[in-house]
Amino acid sequence: RPAIIAFTTAGLTASQLIVRKFARIKETGCTTHDVLNAYHVHNGYLDPRDTLSKTIASVITLGMGGSAGPEGPSMLLGGGIAAVLSRKLRVSFHNLKRFFLSSAAAGVAAVFRAPFTGIFFALEIPYMRDIEYDVFLQAVVSSVTAYAMFVLICGPSHPYASIKMGFILTPNILLFSVVIGIIMAFLGRGFTALYGRWRKYAISLRSHMGSKGSVALSVIGGVVVGLMGLVDIRCIGMGSAFLHQMMSGGYRELVMVLVLILVLKMLTTCTTLNFGGVGGLFIPTLFIGAVFSLAFAEALGLTPLEVYVAVGMASMLASCFKMLFTPVMFVAEVYGPFSIIPVSLAAVVSYMLSGPVSVVSPQFRHRIGPKAVAFSELLYTTMETKPSVLRRLKVRDVMTTHVVTINSDVRVKEALSIARRYGFTLYPVVDRDGMLLGYVSMDELVSLFEEGVDVPVTHALKSAVTVRHDESLYEAGQKLAESGEDACFVVDKSGRLMGMVLTKEVARILLRILFT
């Protein structure tokens, strides 16, 4: 068992060295980020060096005990091969992104032997609250083909073939499905926040430790993962065997032991993917949902256990990945149609309550226009080439403190007079204490005025993107890119307005950084 530490340390260190030596984008971590970055920023292009090196690194991470998912290398290979072939075959410019994303989703369909999961993955993964419907036809063809070819070559075996579910749907099952969905919304947000903090912590350590910091962090991360594996070996690796036992409903364990496994799995996953490992987050997220729901059902004496495990997996996936149909389809393809109603109910509740927060990035909230796409490409290109400069610059260095505000009790006619005087296109709305409530735009005010409506400006209030003055320019840029807004507003801890940052000003700074 002590050899576990040597394996995990060697795995994370080797993965880090391979990526830093051979990849163009020298960042390890969740491969869904690479897929989304290529899709949103590079028009569906993934450099062959990234495809090959990160696929190998992912296999090493998984094989040596790192906590990650096998969909990672499958997505990279599918998307990377499509990116090269589509350009060799001179596929039209507008179809490049579609072929890339549908081929990455085909990797998901093949590795899970679940074609409908692959189809809906392609439709849902680019956005938190939207559907990429343009890719539907390509996703159907690629996912079904990938599934058929995998079965033809490897046989019809399924990773969870022995799972059979049949039960009578009762009000009790529906009630506790909703309860699990509510809990998973907050557990998913907690895991997302933990993963984000771990990433910031790793980046900060790497910048302070210099050029050899990445390798040193991989060694530290490998030792930490190995030590947690010594506490309970089920928290490291893919965990497929343990996950299968939980999904089949035949596994029993003390509730406190399950809680320990849950905490350790969250920590090992965050450490693996932020300290040098490469892989997916899909399976670890399912694992966390399954462990919690099993502990919940065991504590309350609920049966059948496999129903609640299915509900927990789907709702955790919906919370973390901001996908609604994909988790339902995955569970339905694994368990059969009996599970759809309670699983759908829990997934909807978790999806709605967890809010627009995702464990993967860049996953935009909605489909964005051409200007926002151009800004996103500029932001992420700068981040790839000069990350240290972008992280060193703070919001306070670029924000403007001379902001014209409108009080919340001001009416439309008076607000237009203010707008006529200053000539800006948007204005933050504050209360009497200077607390930011949102913002109003000129076009909304003019529309209300033309309708002859003279109401308080709060009737035209829009939600504002907010940042703190000590956040990095990259973090502020991410929020602007994902929202598609023209500005974000700087607030203090209490929510009082301090200033604002314009998207066009950030773009000007990014161009200066990029070409200096």
Q: How many CB atoms lie within 10 A of CB 450?
A: 8
Instruction: Assign domain 171-353 to a CATH class.
Output: mainly alpha
pLDDT tens-digit series, residues 243-300: 888 888 778 888 999 999 999 999 999 999 999 999 999 999 999 999 999 999 999 9
pLDDT tens-digit series, residues 167-206: 677 888 999 999 999 999 999 999 999 999 998 888 888 7
Alpha-carbon distance values, 374 to 41, 358, 380 (Å): 8, 22, 10
The fraction of the chain above a pLDDT of 70, given in percent, is: 97
CATH number of 370-514: 3.10.580.10
| DSSP string across 417-431 | HHHHHH--SEEEEE-
Supply the pLDDT for residue 422.
Answer: 85
Spatial contact of 393 and 473, defined as CB atoms under 8 Å apart: yes
Is pLDDT at 163 greater than 60 in this prediction? no
Do 171-353 and 370-514 share a fold?
A: no
* b/e sequence 10-37, b meaning 16+ C-beta within 10 Å: bbbbbbbbbbbeebebebbbbbbbbbbb
Supply the pLDDT for residue 251.
Answer: 80
Supply the pLDDT for residue 206.
Answer: 78
Supply the pLDDT for residue 414.
Answer: 86
Is pLDDT at 308 greater than 60 in this prediction? yes
Q: Where are the domains of the chain?
A: 3-154, 171-353, 370-514
Q: What average pLDDT does the chain have? A: 88
Band the pLDDT of 211: cuts 50, 70, 90.
low
Residue of 345, 327, 335 whose CA lies nearest to 165: 335
Supply the pLDDT for residue 160.
Answer: 60
CA dist., res. 398 & res. 55, Å (int): 39
pLDDT tens-digit series, residues 86-122: 888 888 877 888 899 999 999 999 888 889 999 999 9
Q: Which has the minimum average pLDDT: 157-171, 261-275, 394-408, 461-475?
A: 157-171
Task: Tell me the average pLDDT across 410-434.
Answer: 86
Supply the pLDDT for residue 366.
Answer: 81
Is pLDDT at 2 greater than 80 in this prediction? no
Phi, psi of 437 (to 5 degrees): -105, -25
